[in-house]
Amino acid sequence: MTNARDHILDAAERLLIQGKVPPPLQAVADEAGVSKGGVLYHFTTQTLLHGVIERAVRMADERLTAAAESGSMAAEWLRLSMPDEHERRLYRAMLSMLRVSAMGDLDLPRGVDEAVHRWERMLEEELADAARAQVVRLVGDGLFLNALTGHPPSAAAVEQLIRHLGLAAGSG
């Protein structure tokens, strides 16, 4: 069962996917089936956007941490470049939020930078080579950008890259 805060974040996420960046709080309230005051009890516009970003980062972090524990974080990093249709739409919405951030209208939550640094450390620890870890990270970033722009890699292509790079495949 989701709580009111998660229900509001779900509504904001749906509006972001529809291209409403940032989503008007009244529209979030309408989408969530709550009053605007109910939204304001939990969020401002900025904390609402932070909440959506933090939740997406938390989900990726859980997936990557579990993979790191099994020694296959590098392969999982590359697999993150194959978002399903819902994830792809959400990530595109998040890119729109990053554009808002780049213009200075939204500061990203501190947790995003911390997560990126943690993921980089996990890659370096697993691969025991900073340069190789950077190659894997940049390949994954490039694949991910291709997916966001409508050219996602196939699962077979990603698995071929994992093998070519000599990465522990994990559950794939």
- What's the pLDDT score for residue 22? 83
pLDDT digits (tens, 9 = 90+) for 63-84: 999 999 999 999 999 998 887 7
pTM: 0.80
Per-residue pLDDT tens for 9-66? 999 988 988 878 888 999 999 999 999 999 999 999 889 988 988 888 888 899 999 9
Average of pLDDT values for 104-133? 89
Phi, psi at 128, each rounded to 5°: 55, 30
Q: Please tell me the predicted confidence (pLDDT) of residue 44.
A: 92
pLDDT tens, position by position, 124-136: 999 999 999 999 9
> With bands split at pLDDT 50, 70 and 90, how would you rate the model's confidence at 2?
low
Whole-number Å distance between alpha carbons of 157 and 13: 30
**CB distance 168 to 74 below 8 Å:** yes
In whole angstroms, give the CA distance from residue 20 to residue 49. Answer: 11
For 66-128, the three-class secondary structure string (H helix, E strand, C coil) is HHHHCCCHHHHHHHCCCCCHHHHHHHHHHHHHHHHHHCCCCCCCHHHHHHHHHHHHHHHHHHC
Residue 2 burial by CB count (10 A; 0-12/13-18/19+): exposed, middle or buried?
exposed
Neighbours of 63 (CB within 10 A): 15
C-alpha to C-alpha distances, 115 to 12, 61, 110, nearest whole angstrom: 22, 7, 9
- Return the pLDDT at 83: 79
